[in-house]
Each structure stands twice: as C-alpha cells, then as structure tokens.
C-alpha cells in the first residue's frame, strides 16, 4: 500500500507553481516539500522555476523621471 | 484611523512610495512609457477622489493597484468596444522551458538551464511579457512582477481564484515558450546544419 503522505513526480509538478507561489496549503505543501527533498529531478525543476520567478523582480520598479514626479506632485496638490 | 484623516500628506507619501511599482506595472500593460505615465497619473487622480473609501493605510498598495488595473481595462474596453477576455482561460498545450532546456542532447555540453538564466536579461523578460495576450499579461504582471496573491488578483479582476490560477498557468506557459524562442535565437539550442550538396 502506498504511503498517503508521499506524492509522485507527476503530482508534485502539478502542484509546483502553486507551491512556489506560496499558495499551497497544509498537507499538500508538506507533500511537495518532502518530494523535493527526495527527488533530484523535481528539485532541479523547482530550482529553475524559482530562479526564473526571481528574475521578474527586476521588472517590478521603473525609474521615475523628475518631470513625472513633479507631474504627480502637482496633480495631488492641485486637487 | 480612517485613511483620509490628516489631509493629503499621507496620500502623497503613499503614492510616491509605490510610484516606481505603479509605473513598472503600467509600462508592462501599455507597452510604452508615455501611455504608462498617463495611466498612472489617471489612476492617482481617481484614487485621490476615492480616498475616502480606503479604510486602512496598510491596504493602500493593493487598493491603488486595483484602481490602476481597472483604469487600464476600462480604457481598453472603450478602445476595443468590448473586452477580449473570453475563451482564453482554457486549453493550450503545457510548455515547460525547463524540459526543453533539460534535453539530454543539451546536457552533454553543460547545464543549459543554468546558462539560460545567467544570460537572461531584464529586457528579454520585458519583451517576452509584452508579447502575451492582455488577459494573461495582466495576471503574470500582478503575480510574478508585483507579487500579489491569487486572492488579491481575483479581487482586482473580479474573477474567481481558480480563474487566476488557470490564467497564470497559461500565461507562464506562453511566456516560457517565448523565452524558449529567445534561447534558440541566442544559440542555446544546437541547430542542425544541413550541408548543401556539392555542385559538380
């Protein structure tokens, strides 16, 4: 009989994105975490997805020009 | 304390703090700087008028992003006549960049996924996001660029959490397929050179 607390690669990969987004709850999160500790292939995939996800952070903020900041300040004070 | 107590000082401070994030998002949505700045300015004006509806300061970021997103969608609907939302949530092949990069013939040479990530530039990612259909671009930007939760995105877009999840999965798959094309163009995938037959 299979251990209900373990999941196979297919199931782990199905849940991986939600897990990496921090949106997986309770038991499922534990199952994925445990699977990644024991499966080198899925761990590699998870690390790749994690690093790719981190690359998005570079797009989070855009430099504000002095002219645009002034436009925003004027907008607020003139209302 | 209600957020609108204390005049506009708190509002100006809060706006300036999130301004680079708002512009970063607007730029990915509109794809050009002038339109992005107009969208942000429009959202700030709208937010100022509606500031009385914000009950807690610590909800400001999500609140103003919701206004920005809704202003963008509203403008698009006006321009297009109606939203191009339907039928995009379902289907489509799963695409995994990792699986493409991790093929045995690539692994003979090095660790291609590592190499790919090392070479990935901010501009490459921005260009790839810009190619996504609007429905998917929105959720990818809100989730992956700005880090909003599924629930916050669902509230912003007025759709179920499950829809956010499926759009995000589809958007990411599309994004990875674009990045794969980039990887091919950049020479990360070996190309087979067919030798032309010698002409006698």
State the number of CA atoms in the 13 A half-sphere of B1 facing the CB: 8
Domain that includes residue B52, residue range? 9-80
User: Residue ranges per domain, chain A?
Assistant: 9-78
Residue B53 lies in a domain: yes
Per-residue pLDDT tens over the stretch B20-75: 999 999 999 999 999 999 999 999 999 999 988 888 888 999 999 999 999 999 98
- How far does the CA of residue A63 sit from the closest CA of chain B (Å)? 6
Residue B195 lies in a domain: no
- pTM higher than the cut 0.80: yes
Interchain contact B175–A (C-beta under 8 A): no
Residue B124 lies in a domain: yes
B194: confidence class by pLDDT, cuts 50, 70, 90: very low
Cβ contact B23–A68 (<8 Å): yes
Q: Which of B80, B109, B130 is the last residue of a domain?
A: B80
pLDDT the model gives residue B86: 46
Interchain contact B12–A (C-beta under 8 A): yes
CATH code for position B109: 1.10.10.10
Same domain flag for B70 and B147: no
Residues 52-71 of A with CB under 8 A from B: 52-53, 55-64, 68-69, 71
Q: How many domains does chain B have?
A: 2
Same domain flag for B75 and B103: no
Nearest CA in chain B to A69: B16
Residue B86 lies in a domain: no
Per-residue pLDDT at B3 exceeds 80: no
Measured CA distances, A69 to A19, A64, B46 (Å): 38, 6, 17
Interchain contact A44–B (C-beta under 8 A): yes
User: Mean of the per-residue pLDDT values for chain A?
Assistant: 91
Nearest CA in chain A to B168: A17
Per-residue pLDDT at B191 exceeds 60: no
- Phi/psi at B193 (nearest 5 deg)? -95, 115
CATH code for position B38: 1.10.1740.10
pLDDT the model gives residue A5: 67
Per-residue pLDDT at B106 exceeds 80: no
Same domain flag for B72 and B112: no
Same domain flag for B70 and B107: no
Residue B180 lies in a domain: yes
Q: What is the DSSP string of chain B?
A: --TTTTTTHHHHHHHHHHHHHHHHHHHHHHSSHHHHHHHHHHHHHHHHHTGGG---GGGHHHHHHHHHHHHHHHHHHHHHSS---TT-SS------HHHHHT-HHHHTTS-HHHHHHHH--HHHHHHHHHTS-HHHHHHHIIIIIT---HHHHHHHHTS-HHHHHHHHHHHHHHHHHHHHHHHHHTT-SPPPPPPPPPP-
Per-residue pLDDT at A45 exceeds 90: yes
Same domain flag for B105 and B174: yes
CA dihedral angle for residue B85, residue B157, residue B42, residue B33, rounded to 10 degrees: -60
Residue B4 lies in a domain: no
- How far does the CA of residue B141 sit from the closest CA of chain A (Å)? 9
Residue B138 lies in a domain: yes
Residue B194 lies in a domain: no
User: Mean of the per-residue pLDDT values for chain B?
Assistant: 83
């Amino acid at each position: 009989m299979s251990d209900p607390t373990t999941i196979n690669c297919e199931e782990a990969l199905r849940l991986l994105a939600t897990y990496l987004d921090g949106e997986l709850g309770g038991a499922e999160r534990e199952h994925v975490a445990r699977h990644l500790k024991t499966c080198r292939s899925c761990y590699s995939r998870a690390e790749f997805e994690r690093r790719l996800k981190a690359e998005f952070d570079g797009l989070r903020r855009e430099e504000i020009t002095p002219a645009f900041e002034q436009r925003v300040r004027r907008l607020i004070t003139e209302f | 304390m209600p957020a609108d107590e204390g005049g506009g000082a708190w509002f100006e401070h809060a706006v300036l703090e999130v301004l680079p994030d708002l512009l970063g998002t607007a730029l990915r949505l509109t794809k050009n700087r002038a339109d992005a700045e107009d969208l942000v300015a429009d959202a700030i004006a709208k937010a100022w008028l509606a500031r009385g509806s914000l009950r807690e300061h610590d909800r400001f970021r999500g609140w103003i992003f919701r206004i920005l997103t809704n202003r963008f969608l509203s403008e698009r609907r006006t321009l297009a006549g109606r939203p191009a939302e339907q039928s995009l949530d379902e289907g489509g092949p799963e695409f995994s960049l990792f699986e493409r990069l991790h093929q045995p013939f690539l692994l003979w040479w090095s660790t291609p996924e590592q190499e790919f990530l090392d070479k990935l530039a901010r501009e490459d990612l921005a260009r790839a996001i810009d190619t996504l259909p609007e429905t998917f671009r929105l959720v990818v930007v809100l989730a992956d660029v700005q880090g909003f939760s599924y629930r916050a995105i669902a509230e912003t877009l007025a759709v179920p959490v499950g829809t956010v999840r499926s759009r995000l999965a589809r958007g990411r798959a599309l994004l990875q397929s674009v990045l794969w094309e980039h990887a091919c163009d950049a020479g990360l995938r070996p190309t087979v050179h067919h030798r032309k037959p010698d002409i006698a």
